[in-house]
Amino acid sequence: MKVIEHLEKAKGKPLISFEVIPPKRGGDINQLFKVIEDLLPYNPPFIDVTSRAAEIEYRETPNGIQKKVIRKRPGTIGISVAIKNHFNIDTVPHLLCYGFTREETEDALIELNYLGIENVLAIRGDDLGYHKPIPEYKSQNRFAYELVEQITNMNKGKYLEEELLDAKSTDFCIGISGYPEKHFEAPNMKVEIERVKQKVEKGGHYVVTQMFYDNKVYFDFVKMCRDAGITVPIIPGLKVLTLKSHLSNIPKNFYINIPEELSCEVLEAKDEHVSEIGAKWAAKQSEELLINGSPGLHFYIMQSAKPIIKMFKHLNM
């Protein structure tokens, strides 16, 4: 089932979805399955599986420092299919611009279509320092709206290769990203909203936001989107704060603000109490979002369900 169908079906009821990351290269998928098993009591209608492009590592060897290109967390497609088949939960694999040619993207979409995956999230991805050489006879999506357009074209039966123009159309539900505190490369919120609108006009069916800790930025973001004529569902993305180091790491890596009230409480607390503070804050956020009409809640889980389990103990659903 498509994400937008899940949203329509869930009207009036809380819809809780999650996002996980593939195991590290050579890791064990059973560890990821254990995380998902812990999430099953919350009846997630779909689970996102992130993707990561190749990056450069510098390693010290007997012959000196050597540069190595590596994908640390491969397997997004296979893991998405495994989760769907093992748990009977729809999955949303992430597709990236960075690190992949349009031809590789088309192959990935064809494979996902073969395997019965109906949803994808189209994002530009992070620049991890490795710029993959693109041969002259191939091309690359530079921006997320171009990736959305490519997927939309395949939904219309338009493929890159001439001989595939009569191929069967795909039918992907396309998710896109939104940044309530703006993407760090956007000069202001006006440009941020314009970029979201561009992705919707190219075929995006719904928006999932970057994480935030102040609900006001989400409500303001939704209003700006609606004022700009963006009518698709906008799902808030949340992450439970669990460590004092998150007060510096999260703003540094995701370019978002931590409210003064939350940061003061965390700084004054003992280390062992921080996760409880974060859980209560996320529960309070969740309740306010749902009461005020949020179409659902999307939690960035990554590698552990423990923060979410703690949060749900405080959440009055």
Point out the residues that are catalytic.
19
As a whole number of angstroms, the distance between CA 96 and CA 85 comes to 24
What's at 19, amino acid-wise?
E
**What are residue 224's phi and psi, to 5 degrees?**
-65, -40
Nearest-10 Cα torsion for 117, 123, 128, 130: 80
Buried b (16+ CB within 10 A) or exposed e, 116-148: ebbbbbbbbbeebebeeeeeeeeebbeebbbbb
Residue 307 and residue 2: Cα distance in Å, rounded?
27
Instruction: Give the list of residues 6+ apart from residue 300 with CB closer than 8 angstroms, or none.
Output: 19, 211, 237, 238, 239
